[in-house]
Structure 1
Amino acid sequence: MEALKAEIAVKRKTVESISSSRPTKYMRRGDIERLQEEERTSRNAKEHTAKAIIPSQEPRVSESPKPESSFNISNEETIRRLRAKGQPIRLFGESDKDRRLRLRALELLEEKDHERQSGQNDFKKALEDVENVERELRNKNKEKRKGDTEVGVIDLDLIKTDPDKLYPLIYYALKRTLKEWEEAMDERPEHVKRSNQGKLAAATQVQSAEYLKPLFKTLRSRSLPSDMLVRIAEIVHYMQKRQYQKANDSYLRLSIGNAPWPIGVTMVGIHERSAREKISTDQVAHVLNDEVSRKYIQSLKRLLTFSQTKYPPEDVSQLMG
């Protein structure tokens, strides 16, 4: 019996030793935190030891001089520069070193201000140069336009001698006036352009330019009726001479004519009337012939109005009503 108990005790001890040596699958949270704390403590101790050892092993490196140490001048020179700048030679509680630093700061500020002013001066000079160039170009364009107006005046004698020469003269004269009208619209201030009246004026100019395209096409093809060519030549001639009253009379003869009978009436009844011979092609109005003619004849009157505004006559009696 005793031998059996001794055998059981030996077996139990063997089993306990095997279970204690076997690694456990799970660990308590307290054991994990304790192990992490021990590792952190040992690592900090190693870093502290390494920092204590490295300075003793590394050679000493001389420190770089401070920036203000390069500005090393005598007290007399410092006083002289401060007086030249109109600054006090010493502030309350200021040491010699602080005084030199104050002088250095003042000089750095002056250098920055000088660079800024020089940059502004360069920009201002460049801006003035651009303005001068634009002014010269503007003056040249004005002189050129004025010269063109004087040189390119249409000669009414060409109506009888060589009417074909009138086509290019009328074409370029009307084109030039239309271009001046467009430029005048662009040169207006922004608040004028954005107003209702300014928008209406711009729309009128664009509409007139569109209405004049058929007339320009007819002038290029030299297919304008002779009577209309004469009246338009008179309008352009008097407009160039700034005789707007006469130009307006030619416009009225072109638009409504001088017909003794109602506009467009050539035969009234079966028999020819006694006044029939007074009605000729140049006495019949062209404004009601078709819609295209009406539009560009109306645009001619708008060009007259603009030209009178831009180039007013010397004689007030030549103004249109």
Structure 2
Amino acid sequence: MRRGELERMKEEEEEKAKEEKRLAEQVKKQEAEAKEAEKAAKKAAQSTSIPVRDTESPNLESSFNISNEETIRRLRAKGQPIRLFGESDKDRRLRLRALELIEERGHERQGGHNDFKKALEDVESVEKELQSKNSKGKKKEGETINVGVLDLNLVKTDPDKLYPLIYYALKKVLKEWEEAMDERPEHVKRSNQGKLAAATQVQSAEYLKPLFKNLRSRSLPADVLARIAEIVHYMQKRQYQRANDAYLRLSIGNAPWPIGVTMVGIHERSAREKISRDQVAHVLNDEVSRKYIQSLKR
């Protein structure tokens, strides 16, 4: 999981660099075309002895005509280096313009990566606060209640009793995960892998909040509640293979047709009544459920 996060971050950085390079080349090409058009217009004006106003030249030159101080200020505001190796002032202005064009296109890369970056920033800010308050080694007091192994018979007999049992069981595991992160040595916390692990924990806790809200309000669908109860039951018994099987049935279903399909034709088929809701995936229903189901696996 950690290696996958690192590879994904590296791929996104490479894509961003390629996009910046492509936009910079595009801007250079447009600027060169504008200069050629200007030269052609001047030659035509000299040959005909008619003064020609330069009204067709684009505003690229004027948009790049900013001072070096302003260029440095904007680059620093974006967290970018103020000068690359062998870069001229003109190239630096082109790089700034390429970055601004990427931002103007609507931040196409918003999503999971930004959430993970925010979690990393939250981890670093929390570490700074802990160091300033000299509270190293102290554990936070929680409101978790020690519950026994969840009984799967409650799924059929009394589903309402499952809500508090699942709630406190997940809260307990989440608190143990947080304490395990806090008890790590300082050099592990400061390492890149340590920060990624802490950010994963913070992100999972944030994504699980909608699930806890549904558990408190007792508003989970019956099939989702049954699958989560199975996951918690097998997790408490340390039968992780069966817990993973329950997670797969919850996330992707076990139907032999594409994920989420409930009707494979316009007419009723003989096998239509065999399709039940527990065979249909829930991980793709909406973004909120996708996040807390994946965090539940973590």
Normalised by the length of structure 1, the TM-score is: 0.47
Q: CA deviation at 1:272?
A: 2.4
Structure 1, unpaired ranges of 5+: 1-136, 303-321
Distance in 1, matches of 2:225 and 2:162, equals: 8
Please tell me whether the aligned partners of residues 260 and 278 of structure 1 are also in contact (alpha carbons under 8 angstroms): no
Shift, 1:264, TM fit: 1.6
- The residue aligned with 1:160 is 156
3-state SS of 1:265 partner = coil
Taking the aligned partners of 1:218 and 1:178, their CA distance within structure 2 comes to: 17
**What SS class does the counterpart of residue 207 from structure 1 fall into?**
helix
1:234 Cα offset (Å): 0.5
Secondary structure in 1 aligned to 2:260?
coil
Partner deviation per Cα, 1:52-107 (whole Å, 9 max, x = no partner): xxxxxxxxxxxxxxxxxxxxxxxxxxxxxxxxxxxxxxxxxxxxxxxxxxxxxxxx
Offset, 1:186: 0.6
Q: 1:274: Cα distance to partner? A: 3.1
Q: C-alpha distance in 2, partners of 1:158/1:228? A: 14
1:80-119 counterparts in 2 under 5 A? Answer: none
Other-structure match for 2:278 = 282
Aligned residues: 158
Name the residue aligned to 1:235: 231
Are 2:167 and 1:171 equivalent residues in the alignment? yes
Q: Which has the higher helix share?
A: 1
The answer as to whether partners of 2:262 and 2:280 remain within 8 angstroms in 1 is no
- Gap change, CA 1:229 and 1:286, over 3 Å in 2: same
**What letter is aligned with 2:189?**
K
Offset from partner CA, 1:114-135 (integer Å, 9 cap, x none): xxxxxxxxxxxxxxxxxxxxxx
**What is the aligned counterpart of 1:270 among 266, 273, 292?**
266
Instruction: Report if the CA contact (8 A) 1:185-1:202 is conserved.
Output: yes
Larger radius of gyration: 1
Deviation at 1:204, TM superposition (A): 0.3
Secondary structure of the residue aligned to 2:199 is: helix
- Is residue 2:285 matched to residue 1:300? no
Q: Secondary structure at the match of 2:246?
A: helix
SS for the counterpart of 2:271 is helix
User: Where in structure 2 are the equivalents of 1:180-191 lying within 5 Å?
Assistant: 180-191=176-187
SS at match of 1:228: helix
- For structure 2, list consecutive stretches of 5 or more residues without a partner in the other structure: 1-137
The RMSD of aligned alpha carbons is 2.1
State the one-letter code of the partner of 1:258. Answer: N
CA-CA distance at 1:244 after TM superposition: 0.7
Runs of 4+ off more than 6 Å:
none
Rounded Cα–Cα distance in structure 2 between residues aligned with 1:269 and 1:160: 33
More relative contact order, 1 or 2 (CA 8 Å, 6+ apart):
2
Deviations 1:265-304 (A, max 9, x none): 22233222333222111110000000100000000110xx
Matching residue within 199, 204, 214 for 1:203? 199
Q: Distance in 1 between matches of 2:265 and 2:229?
A: 36
The match for 1:221 is 217
